[in-house]
A and B are shown apart, each in its own frame.
Chain A
Amino acid sequence: MKMDGGFLNNLGKVYTYYTGGFAAFVVLIAILEQLGMPSRWLGYLYMAATIGVYAFIGIISRTGEMSEYYVAGRKVPAFYNGMATAADWMSAASFIGMAGSFYLLGYNGLAFALGWTGGFVLVAVLMAPFLRKFGQYTVPDFLGARFGGNVARLIGVVVLITASFVYVVAQIVGVGIIASRFLGMAFEIAVFVGLVGILVCSMMGGMKAVTWTQVAQYIILIIAYLIPVTLLSAKFFGVPIPQLMYGFALERIEGFEKTLGVAQSYVAPFINARGQFDMTQAMNFFFLVFCLMLGTASLPHVLMRFFTTPSVREARTSVAWTLVFVGALYLTAPAYAAFARLEVYQNVIGQPIASLPVWVQSWGAIGLVGACDAANASTIFSLCRGVTGNADGILQVAEFRIHPDAIVLATPEIAGLPYVIAGLVAAGGLAAALSTADGLLLAQSNALSHDLYYRMINPNADTAKRLQISKILLVVVALLAAWVAGSMGADILFLVAWAFSIAAAGLFAPLVLGIWSKTATSAGAVAGMIVGFGVTFTYLIWTEFAGPSFKAFFGDAATLAPARGRQVATIWGINNISGGIFGVPLAFLVTYVVSQFTEKPSKEMQDFIESIRIPKGAVREVGTSRAVE
């Protein structure tokens, strides 16, 4: 406790020293590289040092206190909770995948930039302050208190686990990909290392340990993200401000598109391959933005972070800080994509095969880039399978292939930087994946141990027993996730985007109405959650894995198209990634209609709602048997 107080009073100093220490470590690696240490060793040093630091924080933050384990003792200042939430939020997909999506999809990819940031406006205005005032431990806790008990709580747990489990598997896969690519580790061993990294951070100290580790991880991931692209900006334009200078890259890209005859302009919205306006693309863009935003405001591993601030007031400010820290990465990601595209148009397309830049060869060798001009190109570049080049010795636009992950990963090499920077990017990606995995894992084990075990199965369990159960469940869920990651690998990554639609469909309506409506009843909310979640989940599973039967059932309204090696169905052209567009309005509608026909919430319930709306004073929960702790 004594050390804890000392730590909390010196957060600024502690994390400044930490950042300085990390900078010194990077300099040390640079010196070792100059002295001729092989890259692989440098990579191991990066991995060992960063995971070592996270483990150290995890171990010194161990706790046996309930409120520290579940909500970090509610002592996390707004600024640091903002940083921790940003790390919690930004996963391997944000760090590595997003810039790649921008590169490949052009304007349409920006749906991810909008969706994954705008959702925080909803978190701030509709959710965070009220959940903080409610002030228990989990999101299902709130559903249970507001909607009269265990049915609502249980459905909340089901939605939470459904949305979070695939998500955490994807993070472990992300760790495996980064470690195998940069360190040459076998994928399965890398998954195991990732698992250990996640468990040491979260098992002994719960939310308290995860919070202070996430702050440390944010610092590493943001440094790692900003440095390569800043140096690339200096190389291209002489000014090290990528967020501003990529405008000139876009201008030059538009110029190249004219001379190269590219129909689908990089910056043009809602167009198809022939460059014409496409209504389906526009619709899917806006639906995806909608689902990602509402999903952001419903995902429990994010919402639970706002239980940890000292006050309602700080919960509000903390959302603002979160978006500042998230923005630092999101405002930069389009620069990665634009610079990569400029590099490709400027130095790759139209070049003789013999004089392509070095990075094309080195990333081609591990299957992330393909220069498919020669007839036998697919024997050299695995990405060239199915592409027929014209074998004229020059690389045309149609003959170039690049995997989205290469955009961020290859930037250090495009900029001509030494391995010390490439290793830094790997360490950043690792931090992003681990921090998100920590939060997701904790959200799931808390839901199972607190909501399912303590609230529903054994309300008489004492503190020690509950913490023990939490920690055991944490390990069980982590092992299960690692097992799925190890056996399914990258095939599962596309499922991550589903988490947003699932969370939005199952949780957005009951959370919003629980706070903002005094007339929504328990039966209404339960029915709304079941219908919203059920419809969206069915749409996702049915269209993805049984497309032909979906098409047979819905006839002309549905279409089939090949995707991800399957026949995937859509209805009215709506991609299943935006499946929340059906569930969310239905959840609101069903809750409203059923509430009209069921008994109005009691006076006590209305008092309870009143009390969470007002920052001052106690929470008047219905029923005295449900005192917290």
Chain B
Amino acid sequence: MSGARGSAGAGGASAASAVITPEKAKAYWGETSSHMMVVLAIWVFFSFFVHLFAPSLNAIHMLGFPLGYWFASQGSILVFIAAIWYYASKQNQIDEKFDVAED
């Protein structure tokens, strides 16, 4: 087929095996996986765990907001946004550390 394949195909198969040794690939994936677990732990905490305490948190008020209601309507969402930025920047650093970032 003619046509342009995106960036991924450009290097050809031989270049791929030269990118990284199996040991390094394993170390890279290990670090990537633990980073994933940290972000997922934040996700679980603010998606589910914190809202289990919504009835008690509602007794506390800040700027008029009952805290339990605030976490479900805004607090968790703000944390999700921060978590994705954190994920992206840390993962980009891991890529650079193992020299597997795109050129």
Within 8 A of A (CB), among B64-102: 64-66, 68-70, 72-74, 76-78, 80-81, 83-85, 87-88, 91-92, 95, 99-102
Alpha-carbon distance A139/B23, docked complex (angstroms) = 30
B84 touches A611 (CB 8 A): no
A269 to chain B, nearest CB (A): 4
User: Which residues of B have CB within 8 Å of A267?
Assistant: 58, 66, 68-69
Which residue in B39, B42, B65, B78 is a CB contact (below 8 Å) of A250? B65
Contact of A629 among B5, B20, B84 (CB under 8 A): B5
0 or 1 for each of A291-304: is its CB under 8 Å from B? (1 = yes): 00100000000000
Whether B1 and A323, one on each chain, are in contact in the complex, defined by CB atoms closer than 8 angstroms, is no
Structural contact, A117 and B80, CB atoms closer than 8 A:
yes
From the candidates A65, A120, A614, name the one contacting B19 in the complex (CB within 8 A). Answer: A614
In the bound complex, CA of A117 to CA of B78 (Å): 10
Q: Mark B1-41, 1 if CB is under 8 A from A, else 0.
A: 11111111111110110111000010011001100100110
A627 contacts the other chain (CB 8 A): yes
The size class of the interface chain A forms with chain B is 35 or more
Given contact pairs A113-B73, A118-B80, A250-B66, A613 touches B16 in the complex (Cβ within 8 A):
no
Could you tell me the distance between the alpha carbons of A286 and B3 in the complex, rounded to whole angstroms?
47
**Chain B residues with CB under 8 A of A243:** 74
Tell me the complex Cα distance, A126–B33, Å. 10
Interface hit among A312-320, A403-411, A530-538, A588-596: A312-320
Known interface pairs A135-B7, A620-B13. Does A320 touch B69 (Cβ–Cβ under 8 Å)?
no
Q: Among A121, A330, A331, point to the contact of B43 (Cβ < 8 A).
A: A121
Q: Let me know if A74 is at the binding interface, CB within 8 A.
A: yes
Judge whether A24 is part of the interface by a CB distance below 8 angstroms.
Answer: no
CB proximity of B43 to chain A, nearest CB, Å: 4
CA distance A290 to B54 in the complex (A): 17
Please state if A323 and B63 are interface contacts (CB–CB under 8 Å). Answer: no
User: A580-629: which residues lie under 8 A (CB-CB) from chain B?
Assistant: 610-611, 613-620, 627-629
B9 contacts A619, C-beta separation under 8 Å: yes
| A292–chain B nearest beta-carbon distance, Å | 10
Are B88 and A269 in contact, with the CB atoms below 8 A? no
Complex Cα distance, B69 from A628, in Å, reads 49
Do residues A319 and B16 form an inter-chain contact, with CB atoms below 8 A? no
A506 to B95, CA, bound (A): 31
Q: How far is the CA of A564 from the CA of B11 in the complex (A)?
A: 56
Which of A66, A610, A614 has the largest count of B CB atoms less than 10 A from its CB?
A614
Contact at A122–B77, with CB atoms within 8 Å?
no
Q: Does the CB pair B63–A248 fall under 8 Å?
A: yes
Cα distance A289–B46 in the bound complex, in angstroms: 11
B47 near A293 with CB under 8 A, answer: yes
Considering the chains assembled together, what is the distance between the CA atoms of A622 and B15 in angstroms?
Answer: 16
Known: A125-B40, A268-B58, A313-B102. A613 touches B32 (CB 8 A): yes
Q: List, in ascending order, chain A residues with CB within 8 A of B43's CB.
A: 118, 121-122, 125
Task: Give the residue name and chain of the B residue nearest to A629 (CB).
Answer: B3
Nearest Cβ in chain A — how far from B22, in angstroms? 8
In the complex, whether A107 has a CB less than 8 A from a CB of chain B is yes
Q: Which of A269, A317, A619 sits near B54, CB closer than 8 Å?
A: A269
| A360-410 interface (Cβ within 8 A of B) | none
For B87, give its contact among A316, A627, A629 (CB under 8 Å). Answer: A316
With A118-B43, A616-B103, A629-B4: A110-B69 Cβ-Cβ less than 8 Å: yes
State whether the Cβ of A249 lies closer than 8 Å to any Cβ in chain B.
Answer: yes
CB distance from A340 to the nearest CB of B (A): 15
Assuming A74-B7, A251-B61, is B51 touching A615 (CB within 8 A)? no
Complex interface residues of chain A between 313 and 360 (CB less than 8 A to chain B): 313, 316-317, 319-320, 323-324, 327, 330-331, 334
- Residues in chain B near residue A133, CB distance under 8 A: 8
B13 pairs with A247, CB closer than 8 A: no
Residues of B near A110 (CB, < 8 A) are: 69, 72-73
Contacts of B62 in A (CB 8 A): 247
Decide: A616 and B63 in contact? CB cutoff 8 A. Answer: no
Indicate if A277 sits at the interface (CB-CB under 8 A): yes
- B77 and A330 contacting across the interface, CB-CB below 8 Å: yes
Which A residues touch B33, using CB under 8 A?
516
Q: Which residue of B lies closest to A269 (CB)?
A: B54
Query: Which one, B61, B81, B99, B103, contacts A320 given CB within 8 A?
Result: B81
**Which residues of chain A come closer than 8 Å to B63, judged between CB atoms?**
244, 247-248
Q: How far is the CA of A319 from the CA of B7 in the complex (A)?
A: 20
Q: Which residues of B contact A571 (CB under 8 A)?
A: none
Q: How far, in angstroms, from A130 to B101 measured CA to CA in the complex?
A: 13
Contacts of A319 in B (CB 8 A): 84, 88
Which chain A residues lie closer than 8 Å to B40 at the CB level? 121, 125
Taking CB as reference atom, which chain A residue is nearest B33?
A516
Is A268 a contact of B1 with CB atoms below 8 Å? no
Closest B residue to A116 by beta carbon equals B77
Other-chain residue from B1, B2, B8, B55 in contact with A269 (beta carbon distance below 8 A):
B55
A135-B32 contact in complex given A113-B72, A463-B3, A618-B16, C-beta closer than 8 Å: no
3 closest Cβ contacts across the A-B interface? Answer: A247-B64, A251-B64, A617-B19
Residue positions of A touching B, CB distance < 8 A:
65-67, 71, 74, 102, 107, 110, 113-114, 117-118, 120-122, 124-126, 129, 133-135, 243-244, 247-252, 254, 267-270, 277, 285-286, 289-290, 293, 310-313, 316-317, 319-320, 323-324, 327, 330-331, 334, 463, 516, 610-611, 613-620, 627-629
- 21 residue pairs bridging A and B, Cβ less than 8 Å apart: A74-B6, A102-B73, A110-B73, A117-B80, A118-B76, A249-B64, A250-B69, A269-B51, A311-B102, A313-B101, A320-B87, A327-B77, A331-B73, A334-B74, A463-B1, A613-B25, A615-B100, A616-B20, A616-B99, A616-B102, A628-B5
Given A117-B77, A247-B65, A249-B64, 6 other A-B contacts at CB below 8 A? A311-B7, A313-B95, A611-B16, A615-B100, A616-B102, A618-B8
